[in-house]
């Protein structure tokens, strides 16, 4: 942590342009600023006279139109009563600013507690994701091949890929392709994980991390949330750590989601396939780097092992996972009143 008048280094060891940022976002006077660990983008926490704020510097290849679309989405959500971050304009009035070839935005901090692993928080995450999909349901989205499917096909077709993995990836991609015409599309959040929510007791106080929002099949958000919330932690260094899914928690999340947005039969069929596709894509990605001659680290090989173990776990629990998805459909078949897209909900 450093004062606004001092020096702060980014993840690459370069100096953060503090003077320029403080001039653009005075915030009543800065007290301190610190780098927040993790994430593709870089986030900086600013304690100021106007309260806690976060500055976000986008990764170098971030397209401007993508950033502008995400900012417009956040404004729309707040207008409709959804707890998205409040974007704080710069002194110029702009909601995003370019500094030294990188895009910056500022948002007001949200007070609350992180995800605590309780079933109450699991249900709140599921319900909030369903509410998000309901609130944005009227937004137009282009019909395009999902990025996950495109990337999976591309990685599986590279020279040198293990034939068994190539066949498996091709099968998953083909089954997803058969479902695509029936899968609802929306502007997905893209990162519906435990770290993206801030809680006030058992209620969601804020939903963060819209920097991955993009048009895609709606069920992709459910696949991300199911994997993140259902993941079973055993112990650091254990061979089975973060491999299995807690199917009871998965069922709770899906049931809470369905109270806000009714999933379709195609989505419930696609959900296990997307879980499998994600694991295949990540494992193939690291193997591809090795095939290209890159020297992988021990951590890379550990990640490959984990993804292989996750695939094996999914193989052994196909029927159980399909049963949970089918149960959700049976519950919603009784009739769920769906609110209009603009309704903020509870």
Reported as a single tens digit per residue, the pLDDT across 198-246 is 999 999 999 999 999 999 999 999 999 999 999 999 998 899 999 999 9
Region 15-38: mean pLDDT is 95
Chain position carrying tokens 């897209």: 341
| Closest of 265, 281, 303 to residue 179, by C-alpha | 265
- Cα 18 from Cα 33, distance rounded (Å): 9
Radius of gyration of the chain (CA): 21
pLDDT band of 335, cuts 50, 70, 90: low
- Cα 66 from Cα 212, distance rounded (Å): 9
Indicate the domain borders of the chain: 18-108, 119-332
Exposure class string for 154-191: b at 16+ Cβ within 10 A, else e? ebbeeeebeeebbebbeebbeebeebbeebbbbbbbbb
Please report the pLDDT score of residue 143 as a whole number.
Answer: 81
119-332: CATH superfamily: Aminoglycoside phosphotransferase (APH), C-terminal lobe (3.90.1200.10)
pLDDT band of 345, cuts 50, 70, 90: very low
pLDDT band of 30, cuts 50, 70, 90: very high
pLDDT over 50 (residue 3): no
Please report the pLDDT score of residue 332 as a whole number.
Answer: 85
Helix (H, G, I), strand (E, B) or coil at 295: coil
**Architecture in CATH for domain 18-108:** 2-Layer Sandwich (3.30)
**DSSP string for residues in 55-120:** EEE--TT--HHHHHHHHHHHHHHHHTT--PPPBPPPTTS-S-EEETTEEEEEEE---SB---S-HH
Residue pLDDT, tens place only, 80-89:
999 999 999 9
What percent of the chain clears pLDDT 70, i.e. is strictly above it? 95
Non-local CB neighbours of 159 within 8 Å, separated by 6+ positions: 291
pLDDT over 60 (residue 299): yes
Please report the pLDDT score of residue 184 as a whole number.
Answer: 97
pLDDT over 50 (residue 340): no
Q: Estimate the share of the chain in helix, then strand, then coil, as percent rounded to the nearest 5.
A: 45, 15, 40
- Cα 141 from Cα 164, distance rounded (Å): 35
Q: Are 219 and 270 in contact (CB under 8 A)?
A: yes
Name residue 9's beta-bridge partners.
15
| Closest of 238, 159, 233 to residue 194, by C-alpha | 233
Residue pLDDT, tens place only, 88-119:
999 999 999 999 999 999 999 999 999 999 99
Hey, what are 147's tokens?
A: 């990025």
Residue pLDDT, tens place only, 187-206:
999 999 999 999 999 999 99
pLDDT over 60 (residue 344): no
Average pLDDT, the chain: 93
Stretch among 3-12, 76-85, 274-283 having the lowest mean pLDDT: 3-12
pTM attached to this predicted model: 0.92
Please report the pLDDT score of residue 144 as a whole number.
Answer: 83
Largest CA distance in the chain: 61
Going along 158-311, which residue ranges are E strands? Answer: 185-188, 197-200, 203-207, 214-217
Chain position carrying tokens 């007791």: 201
């Amino acid at each position: 942590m450093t004062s606004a008048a001092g020096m702060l280094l980014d993840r690459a060891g370069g100096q953060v342009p503090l003077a320029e940022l403080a001039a653009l976002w005075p915030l009543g006077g800065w007290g301190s600023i610190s780098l927040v660990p993790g994430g593709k983008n870089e986030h900086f926490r600013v304690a100021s006279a106007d309260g806690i704020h976060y500055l976000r510097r986008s990764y170098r290849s971030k397209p401007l139109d993508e950033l502008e679309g995400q900012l417009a989405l956040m404004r729309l959500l707040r207008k409709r009563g959804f707890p998205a971050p409040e974007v704080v304009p710069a002194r110029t009035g702009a909601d995003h600013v370019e500094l030294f070839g990188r895009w910056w935005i500022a948002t007001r901090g949200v007070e609350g507690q992180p995800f605590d692993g309780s079933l109450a928080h699991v249900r709140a995450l599921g319900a909030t994701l369903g509410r998000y999909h309901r609130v944005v349901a009227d937004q137009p989205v282009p019909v395009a091949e999902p990025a996950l499917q495109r990337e999976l096909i591309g990685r599986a077709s590279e020279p040198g890929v293990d034939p068994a993995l190539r066949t498996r990836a091709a099968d998953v991609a083909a089954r997803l392709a058969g479902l695509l015409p029936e899968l609802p599309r929306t502007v997905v959040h893209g990162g519906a994980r435990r770290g993206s929510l801030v809680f006030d007791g058992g209620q969601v106080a804020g939903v963060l991390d819209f920097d991955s929002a993009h048009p895609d099949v709606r069920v992709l958000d459910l696949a991300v949330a199911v994997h993140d919330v259902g993941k079973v932690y055993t112990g650091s260094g254990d061979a089975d750590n973060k491999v299995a899914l807690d199917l009871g928690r998965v069922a709770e999340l899906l049931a809470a989601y369905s109270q806000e947005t009714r999933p379709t039969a195609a989505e419930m069929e696609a959900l296990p396939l997307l879980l499998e596709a994600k694991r295949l894509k990540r494992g193939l990605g690291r193997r591809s780097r090795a095939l290209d001659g890159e020297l992988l680290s021990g951590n890379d090989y550990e990640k490959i092992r984990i993804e292989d173990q996750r695939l094996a776990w999914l193989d052994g629990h196909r029927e159980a996972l399909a049963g949970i998805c089918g149960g959700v459909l049976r519950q919603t078949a009784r009739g769920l009143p769906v609110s209009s897209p603009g309704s903020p909900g509870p």
